[in-house]
Amino acid sequence: MKLTSLNATHRKLGAKMVPFAGYEMPLQYEGLLIEHETVRTAVGVFDVSHMGEFILRGKDALALIQKVTSNDAAALTDGKIQYSCLPNGKGGIVDDLLVYRMDGETYMLVVNASNIDKDWAHISGHNTFGVEMENISDRTSLLAVQGPKAAAALQSLTDIPLAQMGYYTFKKGRFAGIDDIVVSATGYTGAGGFEIYFDNGHADHIWNAVFKAGEAFGIKPVGLGARDTLRLEMGFCLYGNDIDDTTSPIEAGLGWITKFNKDFIDREVLVKQKEQGVARKLVGFEMIDRGIPRHDYPIVDAGGDRIGTVTSGTQSPSLKKAIGMGYVAAAHAKVGSEIFISIRDKAIKAVVVRPPFYKG
Amino acid sequence: MNIPAELRYTKEHEWLKLDGDIATIGITDYAQGELGDIVYVEVETVGETLETEEVFGTVEAVKTVSDLFMPVGGEILEYNDGLESDPELVNTDPYGKGWMIKVKVTDLAEIDSLLDAKAYAALIG
C-alpha cells in the first residue's frame, strides 16, 4: 500500500482511511454529509496526491498527445488545460485525463491513480516521436481546494490573482512562500476552486499554510466519500465506474472531447459511431420512487426487460434525492424516459434527466 | 466505541435488548460508524415471523447498503417509524432513538447464543 506525504496528517485528524487505487486514502474525517456541504457552501481540501502526473517534453510532444488523446490539444495555448481521454485502439477508453500546456514543447498529463502504469505503457508504446517522457507521480503531491470561498481563502498565500483565473487555466508562481507551484483552476466537484501541484517535500508546509489561511472561511479537510458524491451530482464520469476499456467516448457522452479534425487512435471507429449512432448511451437519472441506485444494479423497462446497467449511484446530499448514471439502450436514453432500477429484485421507477443534477 | 454492557450482540453488528419475551433490535455504534451517514432504513417485514439470520430489512447509507439480520427468530411486531423522517437517529443514537424493530422472540434459549458486550468488543477489536 502506498502512502501520500500527508498520511500522518490524515491519521492525526482522525480520518477513516481506506485502500484506494493502491494508496491508503482518507474516506472521511468528520462525516461525508458535512464535508460535502462544506465544499458546496464554503471551502474544503482534498489530498489527491495519488493522482498521476507525466511530463512530456520535446518538439513533437504535441504530435504524440494528438495521436493518443481524443480532444484537440492543438487548441491549447500556454497556461490552458483540456479534459480529454485516451482511446484504447478497440473503441474503449484507457483513461480520462487533463492535458496542461506548460509551453509549446512541454505538457503535463494528469491521470487516474489506478491507471498510472497502464497509461504510461500505452503512451510510451505510441511514442515513435522521440518525445522525452517523465513520470513525476511519486514525487508530486496534489491538493484540491474546492468551494465558492476557495479563491478568497487562498489569496493571502499568493500574488497570482486567483479570482480572475479562468476555468481550466493554470499559473505557475509563488505560493505559501514556495516558488514554481502550479495553481490550476480545475476540480472534480463543480463547486469552483483550485488544484495545487507541488513536490512532496512541501506537503506539510503547504497543507498547514492552506488551513491557516482558510481558517476564517471555515475550511475543512474532505475525503474521497464526498469527492464521489460531489462529482456525481455534476454528472462527471469516474473511470472504472462510468467509463472503462469497454465503453466508447461516444457512448459515454464524451463526444464533446472527441474531435475529428485530427488523426488519433480509434478515430475511424468513433467517427462511424458518431455518424451511425450507438446502441447504448450513458444517461443520468433521478429516482422517482424510493430507493438508491448502486454500481452494477440492472436497469429494466416497464415490462421488466433488461435495458442497461447502473454505473454510479448515490443519495445526493445537496438535492436530498437519489441519483445515478448508467448505460441504457439508445431507445430509452431520451430525457424524460421512464426507466426502472432493479433494487433487491424490485423494479423502482426513475426518470432520465440531463446532468448536471446539481445546478448550483 | 460505545458498547453498552446490558445488551447482547451479533457478529453482523446488530444489538438486542430483551424485555420479557419482546426484543428491541438495532445496529451497533460500530456499525453506524462503518456505514457512515444513513439515508433510510427499509423494513417491510412487520407482521412476518422470521428465522435467526434471515434478512428483516436493509439500511441505506450515502455510500453503501447493508442487509439487516435477525439476531434471533421471532415475529416482527413493530418498526421504529421515527426513522422514516429521521434516519440519522441511527447515527446519532444507535442504542436509543435509533432502534429499528421489536420482535416477539420464538425461543428465548436462543438469546444465550448471542455475544455479550465483552465478546462483541473483542470481535470488533
Q: How many CA atoms lie within 13 A of A158 on its CB side?
A: 28
Give the model confidence (pLDDT) of B58-84 as tens digits. 999 998 999 999 999 999 999 999 999
Give the model confidence (pLDDT) of A149-158 as tens digits. 999 999 999 9
Spatial separation of the C-alpha atoms in residues A298 and A282, rounded to whole Å: 14
Q: Do B36 and A314 make contact, defined as CB atoms within 8 angstroms?
A: no
What is the greatest pairwise CA distance in chain A? 63
Contacts of A137 (CB under 8 A, 6+ apart): A51, A52, A53, A54, A116
CA distance B31 to chain A (A): 14
> What pLDDT sits at residue B20?
96
> What pLDDT sits at residue B63?
87
Contacts of A31 (CB under 8 A, 6+ apart): B36, B37
| Chain mean position to CA A301 | 30
Those residues of chain A that have pLDDT short of 50 are none
The CATH architecture assigned to B8-105 reads: Beta Barrel (2.40)
Sequence-ordered alpha helix ranges (H) in chain A: 7-12, 32-41, 61-68, 116-125, 150-154, 203-214, 224-233, 267-276
Spatial separation of the C-alpha atoms in residues A46 and B84, rounded to whole Å: 33
Partners of B42 on chain A (C-beta within 8 Å) are 290
Q: Do A290 and B65 make contact, defined as CB atoms within 8 angstroms?
A: no
Query: What residue of A is the nearest CA neighbor of B58?
Result: A344
Terminal alpha carbon distance of chain B: 10
Reported as type and span, the H/E element at residue B31 is helix B29-35
Give the model confidence (pLDDT) of A107-132 as tens digits. 999 999 999 999 999 999 999 999 99
> What pLDDT sits at residue B1?
84
Partners of B58 on chain A (C-beta within 8 Å) are 344
Residue A213 sits at φ, ψ, to 5 deg, of: -65, -30
Q: Which residues of B touch A (CB under 8 A)?
A: 36-37, 39-40, 42, 58, 60, 62-65
Partners of A28 on chain B (C-beta within 8 Å) are 36
Mutation target to probe the B interface, by most B beta carbons within 10 A, among A33, A232, A310, A348 is: A33
- Residues A355/A315, Cβ–Cβ less than 8 Å: no
> What pLDDT sits at residue B125?
86
Partners of A33 on chain B (C-beta within 8 Å) are 37, 62
> What pLDDT sits at residue A218?
98
pLDDT tops 90 at residue B104? yes
Percent of chain A residues past pLDDT 70, beyond the cut: 100
Domains in chain A with CATH codes: 279-353 (2.40.30.110)
> What pLDDT sits at residue A202?
98
Q: Do B36 and A228 make contact, defined as CB atoms within 8 angstroms?
A: no
Q: Do A317 and B62 make contact, defined as CB atoms within 8 angstroms?
A: yes
Pairs of CB atoms within 8 A across A/B: 30
CA distance A296 to chain B (A): 13
Asked if ipTM goes beyond 0.95, one says: no
